[in-house]
Structure 1
Amino acid sequence: MTLGAPMMACRICGNEAGNREHSFREMMFGTGEEFLYLECGSCGCLQIAEIPPDLERYYNAGHAGLVADPQILAGSSLKRLLRRLRDSHTLTGTGTAGWLLELLQPAMPALRALARVHPRRTARILDVGCGSGYFLWSLYNAGFRNLLGIDPYLPEEKELAPGVKLLRRHLGDVAEEWDIITFIDSFEHVPDPQPVLQAAAERLTGDGRILIRTPVVPCEAFMRYGEHWVQADAPRHLHIPSICAMEHLAAASGLTLEHIVYDSTDFQFWGSEQYRRGIPLLAEDSYFLNPARSIFTPDQIRRFRRETEELNRRGEGDSAVFYLRRTSPGG
């Protein structure tokens, strides 16, 4: 893609002053196409200057989040049982065996994020931008049943587990109310974040919660790697919010931002280091697909993980979970 004229106004807050331009290349598949982004001088949101009209082609059959079969990823019957024990403990706090398993290998970040709202197994949970459904399958495996996933880029609709459907739909196509609505690494893909967040707010039960797990700016990884920052993920990541931008979106949608938890992973380092060396995420020697063939030693990965823990403690990781609820009358 040839870089065109910069977008003048921020799509989140409307600011036109002091906006900075950044250039990122498509590196998941390694096409090298270049895309212009704008960093808002007011709210700080990092956003693509021009949303590609053919955006769906960047979610082709090779996109891991759309095609990976959750049940295959879960492994053998024994592994599924161990995951059930661990994930059930993560989500409900019960079970000694699960506690031990959590110590050995923590549950996926999305489950740990959900655990902070203490969900009941009877909770109605809608996952927006569900991809292949691994998050929902993990919830089902842990005993949750009232689940639905929607994603406009799904190759096909399917029943993930008995009663758990993945539908090729937008949020506006869903009419029911939900106790919990999640955007797990999907909100940054939304072309129109405020109307979508408004639609989510309108579909919450009275004491419901919205969870948004997303890349976030500013962060150490973006400052360190710049155009090679892996979480830019051009052109799929359309809006990467700051706290200020998320507060603006929440207020405009009748929501209150309750809590923020930084939960970045070592991906921010090994992914960005690969991009700096010209290694696409889906290359055969990528750490994502084949750790043994990657450029990293086990010691390097351990250092990345230690630094990640410190950055999260300082609020400087490149991913965070935003917890939102409806704003009560009178504020």
Structure 2
Amino acid sequence: MEETLKCPICKNDLVDTSLQPKDHTVSQELFSLIECPQCQLLVTSPRPDESELDRYYESSDYISHTNNGNTLLNQLYLLVRNHTLKQKLKLVRQFNPTHLADVGCGTGAFLSICQKAGIQITGVEPNTGARAKAESILQQRIYHSIEDLTQQQDVITLWHVLEHLPQLRHNLDIITGKLSSSGTLIIAVPNYQSADARKYKSYWAAYDVPRHCWHFSQQSMIQLAESYQLKVQQIVPMYFDSYYVSLLSEKYLHPQKSTARRMLSGAYQGLVSNMKARQTGQYSSLIYIFQK
């Protein structure tokens, strides 16, 4: 395990918070969240080092690596994903990419829809099982590491991936270096300042410790991008995330309740979160579009 004492974005000292989320997916271990008071980044503490990380992903419930509809929640996720993939394609098409790389591509669902749209695609996926599935679907090589990328990319996407990267600065150094001179970087991350995060506190499912090393506010994301001379072009809400995250949070917070009651409560909290976000801009997840 590793301890982080300084903020990787602004180098300030990190301070304790009262939040102690649990790994509900694999280990049942408790972790702490520590905060940068300056840029409002939250950091999982301690963080597994890279040699330990794989065991925290060993779950059939980790759907982006398996496409497994083995639970009602996962079935809902897969149903909604078909819609959100089309929305993501519509978003990236604004930038007329010839070459697009998806970092943390999982089983290749997003790359598949881009490939069918005539975009030249490149995928990166460190998980062996997910990478094999993606290669089978896409019928091309998927790279193990971003360091393997050789070609400059017009668009690079990270859909709920940045928060997983233990070496934040090292990885972003490489990613920004692979962008073409006027390239676009699209990053989707959970937003711990959303109403659903404030409602569920340590039970908020999108903390997903210790797989999520970093927990971003809008301020921390913008400050991080500016340190790479990237301009913020747009911040786009992910409306469905508040529902999925709230449903999962209800499962963690109220395991004794019936599935039906948890579903109703989670759907209600997801709606409330989105309604509040219409005033504050603090949606459960946000897509940041940065221009080089």
Q: Same fold (TM over 0.5)?
A: yes
Name the counterpart of 1:15: 12
Residue 240 to residue 323, structure 1, CA distance change in 2 (3 Å): same
Judging by fraction of residues, say which structure has more helix: 2
- Structure 1: which 5+ runs fail to align? 71-104, 280-284, 286-292, 327-331
Q: The residue matched to 2:128 in structure 1 has which SS?
A: coil
Query: Is the contact made by 2:247 and 2:267 (CA closer than 8 Å) also made in structure 1?
Result: no
Work out whether 1:166 is the aligned partner of 2:162: no
Residue 269 to residue 192, structure 1, CA distance change in 2 (3 Å): same
1:112 shift after superposition: 1.9
Name the counterpart of 2:195: 220
Partner residue of 2:233 out of 258, 269, 288: 258
Q: The residue matched to 1:152 in structure 2 has which SS?
A: coil
Cα distance in 2, alignment partners of residues 149 and 17 from structure 1: 34
Q: How does 1:112-261 map to 2 (within 5 A)?
A: 112-119=87-94, 123-141=98-116, 143-155=117-129, 156-157=131-132, 159-161=135-137, 163-167=139-143, 169-261=144-236
Q: The residue matched to 2:142 in structure 1 has which SS?
A: strand
Q: Tell me the C-alpha RMSD between the 2 structures.
A: 2.9
Q: How big is each residue's C-alpha offset from its partner over 1:173-195, in whole Å with a ceiling of 9 and x where there is no partner?
A: 21111111000111110112223
Query: Is the contact made by 2:17 and 2:34 (CA closer than 8 Å) also made in structure 1?
Result: yes
**TM-score, with length taken from structure 1:** 0.73
Q: Percent identity over the alignment?
A: 22
Q: The residue matched to 1:34 in structure 2 has which SS?
A: coil
Partner residue of 1:309 out of 261, 274, 277: 274
**TM-score, with length taken from structure 2:** 0.82
Name the counterpart of 2:288: 322
Cα distance in 2, alignment partners of residues 21 and 171 from structure 1: 35
- Structure 2: which 5+ runs fail to align? 70-79
Partner residue of 1:25 out of 22, 25, 30: 22
Query: Is the contact made by 1:160 and 1:166 (CA closer than 8 Å) also made in structure 2?
Result: no
Cα distance in 1, alignment partners of residues 67 and 245 from structure 2: 21
Cα distance in 2, alignment partners of residues 116 and 162 from structure 1: 21
Name the counterpart of 1:270: 247
Q: Which has the larger radius of gyration?
A: 1
Query: Is the contact made by 2:100 and 2:153 (CA closer than 8 Å) also made in structure 1?
Result: yes
Residue 297 to residue 251, structure 1, CA distance change in 2 (3 Å): closer
Residue 7 to residue 118, structure 1, CA distance change in 2 (3 Å): closer
Cα distance in 1, alignment partners of residues 289 and 199 from structure 2: 27
Cα distance in 2, alignment partners of residues 271 and 231 from structure 1: 9
Q: The residue matched to 1:116 in structure 2 has which SS?
A: helix
Q: The residue matched to 2:46 in structure 1 has which SS?
A: coil
Cα distance in 2, alignment partners of residues 324 and 32 from structure 1: 36
Name the counterpart of 1:82: none
Cα distance in 2, alignment partners of residues 214 and 172 from structure 1: 22
